Every structure is written in C-alpha cells, then in structure tokens.
Amino acid sequence: MNIPRTSFPRVVIIGGGFAGVALAKKLSKQEVQVVLLDKNNYHTFQPLLYQVSTGGLEPDSIAYPIRKILKDFPNFHFRLANVEEINTVENKVLTDIGELKFDYLVVASGAETNYFGNSEVEKNSMAMKTIPESLNLRSLILENFEEALLTSDLHERNALMNFVIVGGGPTGVELAGALAEIKKGILPKDYPDLDTRLAQIHIIQSSDCILKGMSAKASEKAEDFLEKLGVNVWKNVRVTNYDGKIVTTNTDLTFETATLVWAAGVKGATIKGLNAGDFIYRGDRLLVNEFNQVKGFKNIYAIGDIACMVTEEFPNGLPMMAQPAIQQGKQLGENMVRLIENKPLKPFEYHDKGAMATIGRNKAVVDLPKFKFQGVFAWYVWMFVHLFFLIGFRNRMVVFINWVYNYIRFDREARLIIRPFKKKLKS
C-alpha cells in the first residue's frame, strides 16, 4: 500500500464502525498519521438496520461515506481493504491490497453473528449485521409474500407467512415489532388476495426474559407491547436447528417457516494472527487492559465490540453496544496523544448512559441511569437519541421525514426487492 511515511508515528485502525470513527476523529488533528482500513467505503449506523430490513428507511440514509467523515485532514488516509492477517512480530497488516507497516495498531473490527457452531442454522438463516444482509432480509420478506400468493399448498403458504426471530435482544425485539406493524398496516392493502391475518411473528428467547440487559420493568413492558402487537413471545426455548423449513427447539415446539432471522448472539470479529492466545476472552473478543491495550502487546489496542474490557461491574466485559465503542474510541484518541507526548495514560471509565429499544409506534422502553420509563415519551426519546447519533445532516433530515411520513401514513415505502452483493461484476 503506497502510503508515504511521514515523521509522525503511524496509527493503523482496522474498522470504521463507531469505535474506529470516534478514534480517527480524535486523532485527525494530532501529530500522527492515521490509516483507517475498512472493507466497506461507508460507516453503518447499525442500530437502525432493522428499519432497512422492514422498508422504513433507505440504506443510504443510515450509512455515511467514511472518506467524508474525515475529509480535510491531510494526515488521515482511508483504504478500502479486507485485512487478512496481522503480523504482530513485524508490526504489519496484510490485506487484499497489500501490506502496511504500523507503529500502533488499533483493532476495531467489531462483532459478527455467532451461530455457536451450528452450520445448518448459519446456512439457512438470515442475519442482520450489515447493510447487504438487511437488504437481503427485506427482499426475502417481500418475496415470501409474492410467493405465498402463488401456492395453493396451505402448509407452504403458512411457512412463507411465518417469521421466526431467534434472540430477544434489542435487534430481535425491534425487528419483531416492525414486522408486526407491517402485518397490520401494509400487508392487507398490498395483498388483498391473501389472508394476511394468517401471517405469524414469533420471537424465541432461550432465557426467561427478553431485553436481558435492561431493567425488569423494561423487559416486562416490552413483552407486553409485543403481545399487544400480536407477536408470539416464546421464553425459555432454545433453537436447536433449522433445515430451511422446520425450526426445532429443545422443547416439543417446532415452527414451520421460510424465514429464520438469527439475532441470538454476536462474537468478536477476530483476524488471523490475533485470533489465538490467552488474550482471547469471552465471545472471541480481545482481552484489553484499562488503556485498551491487548493483553501481551505494547502497541496493539482494541476498542469497541471486539475488545473485552473486564471491570468490577462487568466481569464478562463491557456490553457490546455503541456507547462503550464511542467512549473507548474517544478515550484512546486522547491517550495516544498523551503517549506521544510521553505523558501518563488515563484509564478508561465507562459511563453507562443507559439502554433503549423501540417496539412500535408510540411504544418504546428506556432505561436511563436515573429514570426508567416506557411508552409514548420513551418512544420520542428513542427517536431523538437515534437522530442525534446519526452522522450527517442530510441523513438526519431524510430519516426524520421518513419517520414522520411513516407515522402519519402507517406506511413504509422502501419496499424494493433488490439484492446486493459486494463482489465486482466486472472482472
């Protein structure tokens, strides 16, 4: 990779998610050379992916070109690259567009879907961690209804109109709520030939409550909201397999469905060369100290979902969410400046700003450190916070208009069947 060396130390950041972008922003005006590598040319606002899957938002309005976030900084370089290996001995990364030496490496590669080793589930289910995956899910949902129209086999039709979501975390809950609203508001108008009342939405959670990381009140209320929307909530049920037709569980329950969405777990997106050793901790994450240094390395750091920082309050590591990622990115940026100026580093302190999830129109649950509330006001807070954290004025405007329109019209218009993939069409 032909990036000329300058007199500044070179910081290579792998990943342009919340953590990587927060760090790059902090470093952009400092006396370091920053090289950010990502396999996409855009930053994805993951908390709103479920709205892309359900036609509420266009993909472009929750993504942002990484180059644009950091334009105007001469010491910042972006390269569209897939990092294939990290060489911790020679301090370089190997990518599909060549090698790159680093002085400091920051792994911010995020998380990927965890199928817990079940390859059949992996092959047959849909995930929702990226924009292409969300568009594929959107297309599949729409295609299922088109196909349901064509078949006279009742079993097949029901399977096409059944949606099974595995995992009662925010992703699963928000997707289930959105599907329920589509069922109510859009399907009867779009498919008058079809008895769309037969469409079923199931959410399956292995433990005894949904939204496990939130308060008991939030969990109960969310379940209540889901049930009011007609979603079937199955607790204490663990999915054991899915062959593309039948979902089997550890109980007698089975589900016939053409669509299984797997939102049951994530794990660190490790990279070869840094994927085995005593620094690998819970959920394939990289164990870091309070300065986000990966255990056993002096110049290799990890931030965000890939990092596992153990604290007294969080013995299994900080939660894999946007807030710790953003906070770690900022803090590491400040620490790197201290490092270069030979000042002592400051340890990271996580400021828990709370958690929230939306279930449907006027229905959300919010846990702030001091207040917990649910319902209409929570729903407004949820929208305000998400608009605030979106990158870019245009994105905020477009998302806002879509939300207002969808609210007034009970509608979701981004309903094109279009399937993206990332390979080049031309050789």
Cα–Cα distances in Å, from 346 out to 30, 193, 288, 325, 334?
A: 18, 64, 14, 17, 9
Does 190 interact with its own copies (rule: CB under 8 A)? yes
Residue 174 a catalytic site member: yes
DSSP codes, 70-93: TTT-TTEEEEE--EEEEETTTTEE
Query: Which of 152, 276, 312, 341 touches its own copies (CB under 8 A)?
Result: 152
Q: Within 39-98, which residues bind its own copies (CB under 8 A)? A: 40-42, 58-61, 63-65, 67-68, 71-72, 74, 77, 79-80, 97-98
Does 413 interact with its own copies (rule: CB under 8 A)? yes
Instruction: Choose the catalytic residue: 133, 174, 181, 223.
Output: 174
Query: Which of 9, 85, 140, 385 touches its own copies (CB under 8 A)?
Result: 140
CA atoms of 61 and 63, how far apart (whole Å): 6
DSSP codes, 174-188: HHHHHHHHHHHHTHH
In the bound state with its own copies, the residue whose beta carbon lies nearer, of 376 and 416, is 416
Encoded amino acid at 274, one letter: L
In the bound state with its own copies, the residue whose beta carbon lies nearer, of 143 and 334, is 143
CA atoms of 180 and 415, how far apart (whole Å): 16
Stretch of residues binding its own copies (CB under 8 A), selected from 215-223, 263-271, 288-296, 394-402: 394-402
Sign of CA dihedral 63, 304, 133, 50: negative
Query: Which of 6, 84, 120, 149 touches its own copies (CB under 8 A)?
Result: 149
Does 256 interact with its own copies (rule: CB under 8 A)? no
Query: Which of 86, 121, 131, 264 touches its own copies (CB under 8 A)?
Result: 131
Query: Which of 53, 124, 200, 335 touches its own copies (CB under 8 A)?
Result: 124
Do the bridges between strand 10-14 and strand 372-375 make them parallel or antiparallel, or are there none, so unpaired? Answer: unpaired
CA atoms of 240 and 118, how far apart (whole Å): 8
In the bound state with its own copies, the residue whose beta carbon lies nearer, of 52 and 300, is 52
Query: Which of 132, 213, 265, 273 touches its own copies (CB under 8 A)?
Result: 132
Q: Tell me how far, at minimum, the Cβ of 97 lies from its own copies, in Å.
A: 5
CA atoms of 339 and 258, how far apart (whole Å): 53
CA proximity to 337, closest of 64, 104, 117: 104
Tokens representing 371 are: 């207040």
What is the 8-class DSSP label of residue 298?
S
- Going by C-beta distance under 8 Å and a sequence separation of 6 or more, which residues neighbour residue 354? 366, 367, 368, 369
- Active site (catalytic) residues: 174
Chain residues that interact with its own copies, rule: CB under 8 A: 1-3, 40-42, 58-61, 63-65, 67-68, 71-72, 74, 77, 79-80, 97-98, 124, 131-132, 135-136, 139-140, 142-143, 146, 149-150, 152, 189-193, 244, 392-395, 397-398, 401-402, 405, 409, 411, 413-426
